[in-house]
A and B are shown apart, each in its own frame.
Chain A
Amino acid sequence: MSPPYVMKRTDIKKLVEAASNEYDVFGPVKKRSKHVFGKIDNPDNLVMDYDSTILSPRKYFQPQNEVMMSFDLEENKVEDTLDELRAMRPRLLMAVHSCDLNGILHLDRVFGGEYTDKYYFARREKTTIVGINCLDSCEYGFCRSMNTHHVVEGYDLFLTPISGDRYYVQVGTAKGEHLVHMARDIFQEAGPEDFGAFKAALKHKNESLPHEVDVEGINEYLDLSFHHEFWDKMAEDCVNCGACAMVCPTCYCYDVVDDLDLSLTSADRTRKWDACLFQEFALVAGGHNFRESPAARFKYRFYHKMRGFAHDQGILGCTGCGRCTAACPSDISIKDVLKELSGIWEVAPTAQGGK
């Protein structure tokens, strides 16, 4: 592990200023009563200490709309956008919480593997990420239950607020080290006392983050509950708006459409965020819909995250960021869904009755 540093919290501005010469900088900014990830043109706008953001940083790696290739219909030529993407200006993404760093690691698994998604990784490679440790819980999150309050990779630099209005700075990669060297004079090498302050911060975090939901056994409970009436009850209020999927750091499904240009001589192929909550998601030509009912789609979202993802990737597909709960117009809370689901199987059968 590279040796850690410490820096003054107020020096973040200097870091952003120095980095701006080389990178486009993005990070949390205030938007009305909430925060969003946005472009930082003025370092004063960067908010390091924020509760959560409306959308997750996924949008920087898998944009809502992404042109994959263009077609020249007269010459029958396919123009890949990958080279353009690889030539883009490097980006610095500031103040990413642990849950979202884990979310990015989830996406790395999905888009990696045998059929690597080069668009995703072009963006990923172009981006330097500065993570930040949350020492206190946020309104809707339950990271501790999902074990995403810890990170060992996924960041280039990782900041932990410590006493004396400073950050303890862990270096995860050579990209992180490069960033340090862009503003070398604001970083001091951490000494034993700083390490003590770091330990105190972790202790505080450990005492303050609640362990609210027990997801042990959730895979099995999902299998056992597939036909349980619980889902119909839970889904009654869901309006299938898909907001939960749009804000989620680990929802990745997408639709692909071709758009002909007006002259009919060229076309773009674009992929767009999709959501399994939408009616057409599993609808095939001929009119058969493999998930016709809204309840089936609501249920599927949980199965995919907590069962399908676990099968494919070996980890649960939820980081506990709480955004879906914050975004839901019907006030459906993922914590409640998980708790009630476990409750079906963890309460003595006599007390619970039913199936």
Chain B
Amino acid sequence: MVQLQIKKENVYVPDLAKLIKKRKMTEWETLFTFEFVEGRMKDLFTYKPGQFVQLSMFGIGEAPFSISSSPTKRGYLELGIRKTGDVTNKIHELEVGDVVGIRGPYGNGFPTESLKGRDILFVAGGIGLVPLRSLINYVIDNRDDFGEVTIFYGTRSPDLLLFKDELAAWEALDDIDLHVTVDAGDDDWKGNVGVVTTLFKKKKFKTENLSAVVCGPPIVYKFVVKELLDIGVGKDQILLSLERKMKCGVGKCAHCQIGHKLTCIDGPVFTLFQVEQMQEAI
């Protein structure tokens, strides 16, 4: 896909975007849909699954968020945001019609071209589903380009499951194999119980043509990677989307440096092979 970068005079100045929809997903996470105020931005702003934007709450600050919508859906951006600090709390107070600043897209994104023709296993822990959802929907919208698709998704409890409607929709597709689990169920929960790695017992994979795409909190990587290596997925076919503190998003502030790489420019998506070359990465 061709990357149309917006040539701007000053990379740090955000474009204005309006909140057009707000959908509460859990007590902590809400899905926000934004539309650029300037009409031409709808065509200029193109992105890849796995890229992120810097969102400005004017007067509070700026923070990076993965784009959760798929580029196959044009004209708007969806961000799934967890309430956790100054900027994110303020975002949750936004009302439809309010204006924020957005700049980007930044980061390398998932290698959609080289994933073509491959079987894909998505493994998401908690909020890790937010960035993966962009690629999942991209794959669904270009279904013929990809092989078998499996999704493993785990959260701590049923009330923390994100995108419940969409999970149901994915479940209904016969060319997507979705497995959801929770660390601890409640009275109504009929599904799997156990951490996300327990899902590996549910399915036998042929790994010659398998790529795995993983996103979750730091703890998830260690355990999921071990499972993936155990079933024989190649280190260059395990893709991890990493999180680091970010200020600039464009390789200047050095906050996101891991080993000799910058998460905002070289990442946030790295292969396990790369990650092993980078000190303190996972």
**Which A residues fall within an 8 A CB radius of B?**
68-69, 71, 73, 76, 78, 80, 82, 110-111, 113, 115-119, 226, 252-260, 264, 266-267, 269, 271, 274, 276, 281-286, 288, 290-291, 296, 303-304, 307-308, 310-312
> A-B pairs with the 7 shortest C-beta distances?
A267-B59, A253-B254, A115-B250, A311-B260, A71-B58, A285-B84, A308-B260
CB distance from A348 to the nearest CB of B (A): 27
Is the CB of B78 closer than 8 A to any CB of chain A? Answer: no
Known contacts A284-B244, A288-B218; A253/B255 CB under 8 A: yes
Q: Which residue of A lies closest to B63 (CB)?
A: A285
Is the CB of B220 closer than 8 A to any CB of chain A? Answer: no
Contact B252 A256 (CB under 8 A): no
Q: Which residue of B lies closest to A223 (CB)?
A: B279
CB distance from A27 to the nearest CB of B (A): 28
Contact B12 A286 (CB under 8 A): no
Is the CB of B245 closer than 8 A to any CB of chain A? Answer: yes
Q: Which residues of A contact B16 (CB under 8 A)?
A: 76, 78
Contact B14 A78 (CB under 8 A): yes
| Interface of chain B residues 244 through 271 with chain A (CB within 8 A) | 244-245, 247-248, 250-255, 257-262
Known contacts A110-B252, A255-B253, A256-B62; A69/B13 CB under 8 A: yes
Contact A267 B58 (CB under 8 A): yes
Q: Which residues of B contact A76 (CB under 8 A)?
A: 16, 58, 99
Q: Which residues of A contact B217 (CB under 8 A)?
A: 286, 288
Q: Which residues of A contact B60 (CB under 8 A)?
A: 258, 260
Q: Mark B170-204 against chain A: 1 for CB-CB distance below 8 A, else 0.
A: 00000000000000000000000000000000000
CB distance from B230 to the nearest CB of A (A): 25
Q: Which residue of A lies closest to B278 (CB)?
A: A308
Contact A296 B280 (CB under 8 A): yes
Q: List 8 A-B contacts (CB under 8 A).
A: A82-B10, A117-B252, A256-B247, A258-B62, A266-B59, A284-B244, A284-B245, A308-B259
CB distance from A245 to the nearest CB of B (A): 10
- A266→B255 CA distance, assembly (Å): 27
Is the CB of B101 closer than 8 A to any CB of chain A? Answer: yes
Contact A73 B252 (CB under 8 A): no
- A353→B86 CA distance, assembly (Å): 51
- A177→B276 CA distance, assembly (Å): 51
Q: Which residues of B contact A296 (CB under 8 A)?
A: 280
CB distance from A74 to the nearest CB of B (A): 11
CB distance from A310 to the nearest CB of B (A): 8
Q: Which residues of A contact B254 (CB under 8 A)?
A: 252-254, 276, 304
Known contacts A285-B84, A304-B254; A290/B260 CB under 8 A: no
CB distance from A35 to the nearest CB of B (A): 28
Q: Mark B218-229 against chain A: 1 for CB-CB distance below 8 A, else 0.
A: 100000000000
Q: Which residues of A contact B14 (CB under 8 A)?
A: 78
Contact B12 A68 (CB under 8 A): yes
Q: Which residues of B contact A290 (CB under 8 A)?
A: 244-245, 258, 280
Is the CB of B61 closer than 8 A to any CB of chain A? Answer: yes
Contact B252 A303 (CB under 8 A): no
Q: Which residues of A contact B88 (CB under 8 A)?
A: 285
Is the CB of B85 closer than 8 A to any CB of chain A? Answer: yes
| Interface residue from A116, A118, A253 paired with B253 (Cβ < 8 Å) | A253
CB distance from B282 to the nearest CB of A (A): 10
| Interface of chain B residues 121 through 150 with chain A (CB within 8 A) | none
